[in-house]
A and B are shown apart, each in its own frame.
Chain A
Amino acid sequence: MEDLLRSVLKVCEDSGAEFSDIRVFRDKNTFIRKDNVKRVLGSDEKFFAVIRVLKDGTFRYATTTNLEKRYMKELSKKICYDSEYNQNVQIKFLKPIKKIVKNRVEKNPGEISIENKVKDIEKIFNLSVSNKNIKSAKVFYNDYENIMYFMSSEDRYIEQTITRTNIIIHVNARKNNIITESFESYGGAKGYEVVENIGEKEVNEIVDKAIIQLKGKKCPKGNFCVVVDGSVAGVIAHEIMGHPSEADFVINERSFLSELFKKEIANRNVSIIDDSTINGNGFYFFDHEGIPGQKTYIIKNGVLNSFLHSRETASVFSKKFDEETNSTGNGRTQGLGRKIFVRMSNTYFKPGDYNTQELFLGIKKGIYAIKNVCGMEDPAGKGFYVSCLMGYMIENGKITKPIRGEVVLTGNVLEMLKNITAISKDFSLNPGSCGKGHEDFVRVGTGGPHIRIENLTVGG
Chain B
Amino acid sequence: MDKEKIAKSIIKYSEELGVDDVEIFISEAKYKSCFIENNKIKNLLLNFSDGIGIRVLKNEKIGFSSGNIINENYYKKILRRAIVSSKYGDRVKNFYFPNIKNKNKVSGIYDQEIENYDEQSLINFSEFFINEIKNNRIALGRLRFSNLEYFIFNSNGLEVREKSTFATVYSNILNSFEYEIFEKSRTIKEIEKSLISSCEKAKKHLKNYKEMNGSRIKKKDIDVILSPSVLTELFISTFGYALSGNSFVLGNSPFYNHVGKKIASEKITMIDDGTLPKGIGSFSIDHEGIPTNRKLLIKNGVLKNFFFDLITSCNAKKKNIGNGIRNIISEEIYSSPPNPTITNLIIKNGKKSLEDIISETKYGALIEKVSWPRASPFSGSFSLEIRIGYIIKDGCLSEIIKNAIIAGNFYDLIKRVEEISKENEYRAVSPSGFGECALMPYIKFKNVTILPKGIRSF
Contacts and interface: CB of A to CB of B under 8 A. Distances in A.
Interface stretch (A44-52, A195-203, A345-353, A354-362): A44-52
B88 A252 contact: no
A393 to B, nearest CB: 17
A47 B78 CA distance: 14
Contacts of A397: none
A47 B378 contact: no
Nearest to A138: B250
Contact of B454 (A62, A337, A411): A411
B381 A47 contact: no
A38 B92 contact: yes
Interface stretch (B15-23, B58-66, B185-193, B267-275): B58-66
Interface string B53-91: 000000000111111110000000010011011111110
A163 interface: no
B381 A380 contact: no
Given A136-B251, A437-B140, A221 B449 contact: yes
Contact of A374 (B86, B332, B374, B453): B374
A35 B44 CA distance: 43
Contacts of A85: 40-41, 123
A184 B332 CA distance: 27
Nearest to B403: A412
B88 A385 contact: no
B5 interface: no
Given A78-B46, A337-B47, A41 B89 contact: yes
B239 to A, nearest CB: 15
B427 interface: no
Contact of A44 (B38, B67, B376): B67
A66 B137 CA distance: 38
Interface in B423-458: 430-432, 449, 451-456
B64 A439 contact: no
- Among A45, A59, A66, A87, the one with the most B-chain Cβ atoms within 10 Å of its Cβ is A45
Interface in A305-326: none
Interface in A323-379: 334, 336-339, 374, 376, 378
Contact of A61 (B45, B376, B449, B456): B45
A79 B46 contact: yes
Interface stretch (B150-158, B174-182, B289-297, B354-362): B174-182
Nearest to A40: B89
A118 B33 CA distance: 41
Contacts, number: 264
B251 A36 contact: yes
A365 B85 CA distance: 53
B64 A253 contact: no
B35 A339 contact: yes
A276 B332 CA distance: 27
B444 to A, nearest CB: 21
A350 B44 CA distance: 39
A63 interface: yes
A174 B252 contact: yes
Contacts of B33: 337, 339
B385 A385 contact: yes
B378 A41 contact: no
B329 A441 contact: yes
A60 interface: yes
A406 B84 CA distance: 40
Given A38-B90, A65-B69, A254-B178, A114 B43 contact: no
A136 B252 contact: yes
23 contacts: A36-B250, A36-B251, A38-B311, A39-B89, A42-B63, A43-B64, A43-B81, A44-B66, A65-B48, A85-B41, A118-B88, A172-B252, A172-B378, A374-B372, A378-B385, A381-B178, A387-B374, A410-B371, A438-B182, A441-B329, A457-B453, A459-B451, A460-B383
Given A43-B85, A79-B44, A459-B383, 8 more contacts: A61-B45, A62-B46, A64-B48, A64-B49, A87-B42, A135-B252, A177-B254, A380-B174
Interface of A: 32, 35-48, 58-67, 75, 78-79, 81, 85, 87, 114-115, 118, 135-136, 138, 172, 174, 177-181, 218-219, 221-223, 248-249, 251-254, 334, 336-339, 374, 376, 378, 380-381, 383, 385, 387, 404-406, 408, 410-412, 415-416, 437-439, 441, 455-457, 459-460
The 6 A-B pairs at the shortest CB distance, nearest first, are namely A459-B383, A408-B383, A42-B64, A41-B85, A337-B47, A380-B178
